[in-house]
Chains A and B, each alone.
Chain A
Amino acid sequence: MKAVQRKMFYLFSPFLRIFHWIMVDAIIVMFVTGILIAKPPEINALEPAQSMLLVNIIRQIHFLAAFGFCASFVFRVYGFIINKGDRLFPRFWEGHFYSETVDVALHYMFLRKAHKSYLRNPLARMSYFGLYVLVLIEVLTGFAMYNMSEPNAIGGLMFGWVNTVLGGEMMTHIVHHFTAWAIVLFASGHLYMVTRAEFMEGESEVSSMFSGSKILAHDPLDAKELE
């Protein structure tokens, strides 16, 4: 058997990785607390004073995670600036993007034995783009609800329009809740795909989010993006 030649590509800056893992934690926390806020647990204390204000604590944790998540975005931005490997936006404007997307999709549908080698395959990039849209919806609707406890303060003026656009604050709640589920569904797919890539395709997807580097057996088509 011939030894396979593998190459190492440095891809993700530490800033992107920090952001990624904060995001993972924050989403887990926000999803769990969010579900609890929509369907609060039963306390049955005798009086509120004896209850430790649990629902309030849950809400504060939700808000804390949200602020932490938003703050961590600054890492993402910094990584984007200093490191080409962090720039994951799908390259819609380049023709090969489409053929490559078809290539990957056919492989995942078992219609093609394997797909070509990529540092970051176009389908994955699209899904990340989708995730950012979902996250943006969550951030906008979240702040719209949060800040409207004082509609006339700066936060209310910045985000209050979201409620108007959606047709009322009740709709904002509903959109926020539905989108949360969409993010969870993304996460389950994402988790599977990276695990599959790591252990079946040998593409070191999981480890790259720790080390920042990918070790690939073939020359990836998009390697020039790093230059």
Chain B
Amino acid sequence: MFISFVTIKGGKNVEKRETMWEAYLRRGFSRRTFLKGCVALTSLMGLSTDMLDKVVEAAETKPLPVVIWMHGHECTGCDESFIRSASPLASDLVLTNIALEYDHLLSAACGEPFEQHLEETVKKYYGQYILAVEGAVSTTNNGTYCMSGGKPFVDNLQHVAKGAAAIIAYGSCAAYGGIQAAKPNPTGSAGISHYVGTKQVINVPGCPPIPEVMTGVVMHVALFGKLPTLDSDGRPRQFYGNRIHDTCYRRPFFDAGMFADHFDDAGAKAGWCLYKLGCRGPETYNSCGNLRWWQGMSYPIQSGAPCIGCANANFWDSGACFSERLPKYGPLPDVDIIGAGLAAASVVGVAAHGALSVVQRHERDKAEAKENEGKEQVAGK
């Protein structure tokens, strides 16, 4: 997908928007500082440094993107994660790299003037702004389980999505429905993709996503003027291209068969693999294994907690309890025990059937023998 706003340089609506380089100039930074910022961003985004030229070029010439951030059925954890980003720092991002015109968490304004500002922004930058959505869309009861500004969120979303150049679904709620969509989904919640028409949605799942992943996606658009490469599920490949299990620092313990069997046992203390404690790392695509949280400080597995697969669709309803892995499912007992039981039952059944078959055959043979005898007698006469 190609986004139009990046190609319109100096178009009538973007005249006033400044490039990242201009923004740096405005803040009195030297070109050296600017280049250092670019290097940091390049490495953050998992690009090789020979991409640096492109990054510099992008940051110098592309205008700042306008971002509208909407909240549906959510917990604001994604917003909180966003401001935990270390590179870029949230302050730099919000005050220099993007124009965050509408956000329930950070915006100064509220009520009527705030909603009016949203409407003006939508009109002024129609077709050019980035829409970031946090939270699921609730549609049961005409969407009245999630009201904002006196209207159902789903209506507001559809209205703003029409003019968006790109749409980012931040967090598992916006991407897949999240916690409120877990069974029995009393509010009829779902991810946003069905409600934004045919527009491409960038899915950034996670509960919440890693801070630097959230900011990295915006930075990619801001710097290169296009979406990051997406996978078939609409997730940026550079952040969601690997299973946690395949990038986990505890993977050698898995391969070696060294597991924690219980919380706080010797294996858990030694930092062995948490597979047997229900770790969902083998099913989960996220940057926890490579970027980690707080720039490499930790991620749940490193802190001894099995992954719950929070970047997966439907992870709240996936199988057994979070601390149990396969083959348990829901309230069922271990399926290996069920299977072994059924196999044993089939052996018993087979033996019984076999015995009855022997009896049947014996009787059949007897009957046949009698018949033959009779025939012979008849023939003998």
**Chain A contacts to B: CB under 8 angstroms:** 1-2, 35, 38-45, 48, 51-56, 108, 110, 113-114, 148-152, 156-157, 160, 164, 167-174, 177-178, 181, 184-185, 188-189, 192, 196, 200
Of B13-21, B80-88, B100-108, B252-260, the one contacting chain A is: B252-260
Separation in Å of the A223 CB from the closest CB of chain B? 23
Q: Is the CB of B360 within 8 A of A110?
A: yes
Chain B contacts with A in 324-351, Cβ cutoff 8 A: 325-327, 329, 335-336, 338-339, 342-343, 346-347, 350
Q: A2-B372, A38-B326, A45-B256 are known contacts. Are A170 and B280 too (CB-CB below 8 A)?
A: yes
- In whole angstroms, how far apart are the Cα atoms of A174 and B319 in the complex? 8
Q: Is the CB of B326 within 8 A of A177?
A: yes
Starting from the known contacts A43-B257, A188-B343, 19 additional A-B residue pairs (CB-CB under 8 Å) come to A38-B326, A42-B259, A48-B252, A48-B258, A51-B255, A56-B256, A114-B364, A151-B232, A151-B240, A157-B232, A168-B315, A168-B318, A169-B283, A170-B283, A172-B283, A177-B326, A178-B329, A178-B335, A200-B358
Which among B318, B327, B329, B346 is the interface contact of A38 at CB below 8 angstroms? B327
Q: How many A-B residue pairs have CB under 8 A?
A: 140
Q: Is the CB of A167 within 8 A of B313?
A: yes
Which among B254, B318, B350 is the interface contact of A55 at CB below 8 angstroms? B254
**Chain B contacts to A: CB under 8 angstroms:** 231-233, 237, 240-243, 246, 252-259, 261, 275-276, 280, 282-285, 309, 312-315, 317-319, 325-327, 329, 335-336, 338-339, 342-343, 346-347, 350, 353-354, 356-358, 360-361, 363-364, 367, 372
Q: A151-B232, A168-B315, A192-B354 are known contacts. Are A45 and B258 too (CB-CB below 8 A)?
A: yes
Q: A53-B256, A168-B315 are known contacts. Are A151 and B241 too (CB-CB below 8 A)?
A: yes
Q: Is the CB of A174 within 8 A of B346?
A: no
17 contacts between A and B (CB under 8 A): A42-B257, A43-B258, A148-B243, A149-B243, A149-B246, A151-B231, A167-B313, A167-B317, A167-B318, A168-B309, A170-B309, A170-B319, A172-B283, A181-B338, A181-B339, A196-B353, A200-B357
Q: Is the CB of A40 within 8 A of B246?
A: no
Q: Is the CB of A54 within 8 A of B357?
A: no
- In whole angstroms, how far apart are the Cα atoms of A164 and B175 in the complex? 13
Q: Is the CB of B350 within 8 A of A39?
A: no
Which among A35, A41, A53, A185 is the interface contact of B346 at CB below 8 angstroms? A185
Closest residue to B330 on the A side, CB-wise?
A174
Separation in Å of the A142 CB from the closest CB of chain B? 14
Separation in Å of the A162 CB from the closest CB of chain B? 12
Q: Is the CB of B326 within 8 A of A173?
A: yes
Q: Which residues on A sit within 8 Å (CB–CB) of B357?
A: 110, 196, 200
4 shortest interchain CB distances as A-B pairs: A51-B256, A181-B339, A43-B257, A56-B255
Closest residue to B267 on the A side, CB-wise?
A44
Q: Is the CB of A168 within 8 A of B350?
A: no
Q: Is the CB of B354 within 8 A of A168?
A: no
Q: Which residues on A sit within 8 Å (CB–CB) of B364?
A: 113-114
Separation in Å of the B321 CB from the closest CB of chain A? 12
Q: Which residues on A sit within 8 Å (CB–CB) of B259?
A: 40, 42
Q: Is the CB of A1 within 8 A of B354?
A: no
Q: Is the CB of A55 within 8 A of B309?
A: no
Q: Is the CB of B326 within 8 A of A174?
A: yes
Q: Is the CB of B347 within 8 A of A188?
A: yes
Closest residue to B280 on the A side, CB-wise?
A170
Q: A44-B258, A149-B243, A188-B343 are known contacts. Are A170 and B312 too (CB-CB below 8 A)?
A: yes
Q: Which residues on B sit within 8 Å (CB–CB) of A177?
A: 326-327, 335
Separation in Å of the B190 CB from the closest CB of chain A? 13
- In whole angstroms, how far apart are the Cα atoms of A181 and B312 in the complex? 26
